[in-house]
Amino acid sequence: MSGSAYATDSASGPRQARVKDIATIEGIRDNQLVGYGIVVGLAGTGDSQQTTFPAQTLASTLLRMGVSVPAAAIRVQNLAAVFVAATLPPFARPGTKLDITVSSAGDARSLEGGLLLMTPLYGADGKIYAQAQGPLVVGGYSISVNGNTRQVNHPNTARVPFGAMVERAVPLDLQGKTQFSLLLNDADFRSAEAMAQAINRTLGRPAAHVLDSRRIDLAVANGEEIPELLAEVESIEVPVFPRAKVVVNERTGTVVIGGTVVLQPVSILHGGLAVNVVSEFQVSQPGPFSSTGTTQVVQQTRVDAQDRPVDRIELKQGATVDDLVRSLQRIGATARDVISILQAMKSAGALEAEIEVL
Within this chain, do residues 37 and 159 fall inside the same structural domain, yes or no?
Answer: yes
Within this chain, do residues 125 and 69 fall inside the same structural domain, yes or no?
Answer: yes
Within this chain, do residues 258 and 343 fall inside the same structural domain, yes or no?
Answer: yes
1 inside domain: no
154 inside domain: yes
Q: What is the pLDDT of residues 67-94, one digit of tens each?
A: 777 766 677 778 889 999 999 999 999 9
Within this chain, do residues 103 and 194 fall inside the same structural domain, yes or no?
Answer: no
Q: What is the pLDDT of residues 187-224, one digit of tens each?
A: 889 999 999 999 999 999 999 999 999 999 999 988 88
82 inside domain: yes
Within this chain, do residues 267 and 190 fall inside the same structural domain, yes or no?
Answer: no
The residue out of 135, 166, 197 marking a domain boundary is 166
255 inside domain: yes
Q: What is the pLDDT of residues 246-274, one digit of tens each?
A: 887 777 767 777 767 777 777 777 665 44
Distance CA 241, CA 104 (A): 43
What domain range is 234 assigned to? 15-27+173-240
Q: What is the pLDDT of residues 19-30, one digit of tens each?
A: 999 999 998 889
The pLDDT of residue 214 is 92
Instruction: Return the HEC string of the chain.
Output: CCCCEEEECCCCCCEEEEHHHHEEECCCCCEEEEEEEEEECCCCCCCCCCCCHHHHHHHHHHHHCCCCCCHHHCCCCCEEEEEEEEEECCCCCCCCEEEEEEEECCCCCCCCCCEEEEEEEECCCCCEEEEEEEECEECCEEEEECCEEEEECCCCEEEEEEEEEECCCCCCCCCCCCEEEEEECCCCHHHHHHHHHHHHHHHCCCCEEECCCCEEEEECCCCCCHHHHHHHHHCCEEEECCCCEEEEECCCCEEEECCCCEECCEEEEECCEEEEEEEEEEEECCCCCCCCCCCEEEEEEEEEEEECCCEEEEECCCCCHHHHHHHHHHCCCCHHHHHHHHHHHHHCCCEECEEEEC
Within this chain, do residues 49 and 143 fall inside the same structural domain, yes or no?
Answer: yes
The pLDDT of residue 261 is 77
Please tell me which residue, 322 or 163, carries the higher pLDDT value: 163
Within this chain, do residues 47 and 144 fall inside the same structural domain, yes or no?
Answer: yes
53 inside domain: yes
Q: What is the pLDDT of residues 283-314, one digit of tens each?
A: 666 766 666 667 776 666 666 655 566 667 77
Residue 204 carries which side chain, given as an amino acid letter? G
Output the domain CATH number for residue 209.
3.30.1360
CB 271 within 8 A of CB 311: yes
Within this chain, do residues 62 and 118 fall inside the same structural domain, yes or no?
Answer: yes
9 inside domain: no
Please state, rounded to an integer, the average pLDDT across all residues of the chain. Answer: 80
Please tell me which residue, 305 or 323, carries the higher pLDDT value: 323
Within this chain, do residues 36 and 156 fall inside the same structural domain, yes or no?
Answer: yes
Within this chain, do residues 124 and 142 fall inside the same structural domain, yes or no?
Answer: yes
The residue out of 185, 220, 240 marking a domain boundary is 240
Distance CA 85, CA 101 (A): 5
Overall domain count for the chain = 4
The residue out of 139, 166, 193 marking a domain boundary is 166
The pLDDT of residue 3 is 47
Q: What is the pLDDT of residues 96-149, one digit of tens each?
A: 999 999 999 888 888 888 999 999 999 999 999 999 999 999 876 666 666 666
42 inside domain: yes
Q: What is the pLDDT of residues 32-64, one digit of tens each?
A: 999 999 999 888 888 887 777 777 888 888 888
List the Cα angle 276/281/282 in 5-degree steps: 130
Asked whether residue 95 carries a pLDDT value surpassing 60, the answer given is yes
Within this chain, do residues 158 and 56 fall inside the same structural domain, yes or no?
Answer: yes
Q: Which long-range contacts (CB under 8 A, 24 or more apart) does 168-173 make?
A: 168/94, 168/127, 168/128, 168/129, 168/130, 169/92, 169/93, 169/94, 170/31, 170/88, 170/90, 170/92, 170/123, 170/129, 172/27, 172/28, 172/90, 172/91
Asked whether residue 10 carries a pLDDT value surpassing 50, the answer given is no
Within this chain, do residues 78 and 160 fall inside the same structural domain, yes or no?
Answer: yes
2 inside domain: no
